[in-house]
């Protein structure tokens, strides 16, 4: 592959955030490239990039048509000397005024800092405070202490003699902190610590503690009649105890995360225009850069400049602008082709998702399948149904009565069927299979079980037990 093609492929597979970093890096290292800040100040002048109206919307209207004239997944009529875009109509009206294309996930407080703060509020001597800090720093991110007391004591300086009983007292202190169950050494201890936080008069509390101590393994795959006989309790008592155990957090530290902020930016936006779903590039991810023509003309006027280092910089600048153009054109073509096929999903959700594979889009646009794969990786589309990764629109098919049905649509239908069941008489996987067959979707019972597990929907026995607990409450 030529260096230009390699660069084009590398830009194409970048996420919006990585692409922005690449823009900044290239602008800093190439004197022939500069930002077009005037485009934001005078948005009307930017319309010269395309024909009439929004240039990206104009391109979207023909996005599904391969560029036969160029014979490649190429640049079309885009200007190779600059790339800028402003949509005056979009100013202040980003997806109906109330939707932002950038979703931020705010980092939660670190578990360690949360526990250290509680320790600092305790009225303990300096020695116990230091031992408490030792215990807290030894915890795993999920909140468990997987280091033995002997190993923990060995971390102390040799000059400091620490008794195991003393260390155990400090451990009990840390275990009294929030979240309940923190600093446990086993799952059983973690659950018992959380149950111990309950009021003594809580119905089913004693039975729940017995289950955790002696029958925790049986509760994971419950044989309800056998477990009830062994415990010597009624269905209502077992249901209440089960609900208490189920309400515990097996990983108390999971609510706390690393001190990091993750964000995702939408590359494409979708709107319904004149009865048709139309994709457009999100203006906020499009860089306003152009070739400095004054510097470029100075280099062209010099003899032998083409083989000089400065001449190479000029050539790389041209390549970069051309590849940026091609990146957005290709993303837009693929996005529009996806939208054309998944319009019913945009209107009705997963249950209307049609089966689609990468080759289908590749054949339609005259692209290579690997190009479509690169375009859809780490790229996001803002839709009426939220921010969705382009990969999400592709799913395998399930044969049913001679026609293909999306596996994602089948999963959505299973969720809908189970969601509408009578809680007192939940549906077994066999019954769900029969209901799907009545709707024209003939799949095996084991496939229903696999899809249900993938959606983290409990089995019929667990749902029946949960229902009994809710009615008892």
Tens of pLDDT along 348-368? 988 888 889 999 999 999 999
pLDDT bin (cut points 50, 70, 90) of residue 182 is very high
Cβ atoms of 106 and 359 within 8 Å: the answer is no
Q: Rounded to an integer, what is the distance from CA 61 to the centroid of its chain? A: 30
Mean pLDDT across the stretch 104-116? 69
Q: Which of 282, 257, 259 is nearest to 269 (CA)?
A: 282
Mean pLDDT across the stretch 453-459? 86
Q: What is the pLDDT of residue 187?
A: 92
Domains of the chain are 3-50+264-392 (no CATH), 111-255 (no CATH), 397-472 (1.10.10.60)
Tokens of 328: 């957005």
Q: Which of 57, 56, 79, 59 is nearest to 67 (CA)?
A: 59
Mean pLDDT across the stretch 152-174? 86
Report how far residue 89's alpha carbon sits from residue 46's, in angstroms, rounded to the nearest whole number: 13
Q: What is the pLDDT of residue 59?
A: 37
Q: What is the pTM of this model?
A: 0.57
Least confident of 64-68, 182-186, 236-240: 64-68
Least confident of 53-57, 245-249, 299-303, 407-411: 53-57
The fraction of the chain above a pLDDT of 70, given in percent, is 78
Strand partners, 273: 276
Residue 197 has pLDDT above 70, yes or no: yes
Rounded to the nearest 5°, which phi and psi values hold at 33?
-110, 140
Task: Render 274-337 in DSSP notation, one character per residue.
Answer: TTEEEEEE-GGGS--EEE-HHHHHHHHTSTTGGGSHHHHHHHHHHHHHHHHHHHHHHHHHHHHH
Mean pLDDT across the stretch 171-183? 93
Residue 103 has pLDDT above 70, yes or no: no
Q: What radius of gyration do the chain's Cα atoms show?
A: 31
pLDDT digits (tens, 9 = 90+) for 372-382: 999 999 899 99
* Mean pLDDT score across all residues of the chain: 79
Residue 10 has pLDDT above 60, yes or no: yes
Mean pLDDT across the stretch 317-334? 93
Q: What is the pLDDT of residue 162?
A: 83
pLDDT bin (cut points 50, 70, 90) of residue 68 is very low
């Amino acid at each position: 592959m030529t260096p230009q093609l390699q660069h084009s492929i590398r830009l194409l597979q970048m996420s919006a955030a990585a692409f922005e970093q690449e823009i900044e890096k290239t602008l800093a290292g190439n004197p022939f490239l500069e930002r077009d800040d005037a485009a934001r100040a005078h948005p009307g002048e930017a319309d010269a990039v395309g024909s009439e109206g929004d240039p990206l919307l104009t391109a979207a209207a023909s996005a599904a048509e391969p560029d036969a004239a160029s014979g490649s997944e190429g640049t079309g009529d885009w200007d190779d000397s600059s790339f800028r875009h402003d949509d005056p109509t979009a100013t202040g009206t980003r997806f109906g005024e109330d939707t932002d294309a950038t979703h931020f996930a705010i980092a939660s407080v670190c578990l360690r800092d949360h526990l250290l703060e509680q320790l600092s509020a305790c009225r303990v001597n300096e020695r116990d405070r230091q031992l408490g800090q030792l215990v807290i720093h030894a915890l795993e991110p999920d909140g468990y202490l997987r280091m033995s007391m002997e190993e923990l004591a060995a971390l102390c300086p040799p000059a400091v003699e620490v008794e195991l009983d003393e260390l155990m007292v400090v451990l009990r202190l840390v275990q009294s902190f929030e979240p309940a169950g923190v600093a446990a050494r086993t799952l059983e201890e973690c659950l018992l610590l959380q149950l111990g936080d309950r009021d003594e008069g809580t119905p089913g509390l004693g039975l729940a503690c017995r289950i955790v101590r002696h029958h925790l393994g049986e509760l994971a795959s419950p044989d309800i009649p056998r477990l009830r006989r062994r415990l010597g309790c009624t269905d209502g008592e077992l249901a209440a105890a089960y609900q208490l155990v189920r309400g515990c957090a097996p990983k108390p530290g999971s609510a706390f995360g690393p001190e990091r902020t993750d964000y995702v930016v939408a590359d494409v936006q979708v709107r319904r225009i004149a009865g048709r779903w139309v994709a457009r590039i999100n203006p906020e991810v499009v860089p306003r850069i152009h070739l400095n023509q004054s510097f470029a003309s100075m280099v062209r006027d010099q003899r032998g400049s083409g083989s000089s280092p400065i001449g190479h910089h000029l050539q790389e600048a041209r390549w970069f602008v051309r590849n940026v153009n091609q990146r957005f054109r290709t993303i837009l073509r693929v996005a529009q082709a996806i939208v054309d096929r998944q319009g019913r999903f945009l209107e009705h959700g997963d249950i209307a998702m049609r089966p689609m594979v990468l080759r289908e889009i590749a054949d339609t646009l005259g692209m290579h399948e690997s190009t479509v794969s690169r375009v859809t990786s780490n790229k996001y589309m803002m839709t009426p149904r939220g921010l969705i990764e382009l990969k999400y629109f592709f799913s395998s098919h399930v044969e049913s009565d001679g026609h293909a049905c999306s596996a994602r649509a089948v999963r959505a239908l299973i969720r809908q069927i189970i969601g509408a069941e009578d809680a007192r008489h939940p549906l077994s996987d066999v019954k769900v299979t029969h209901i799907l067959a009545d709707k024209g979707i003939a799949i095996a019972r084991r496939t229903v079980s696999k899809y249900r597990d993938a959606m983290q929907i409990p089995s019929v026995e667990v749902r029946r037990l949960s229902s009994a607990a809710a009615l008892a409450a």
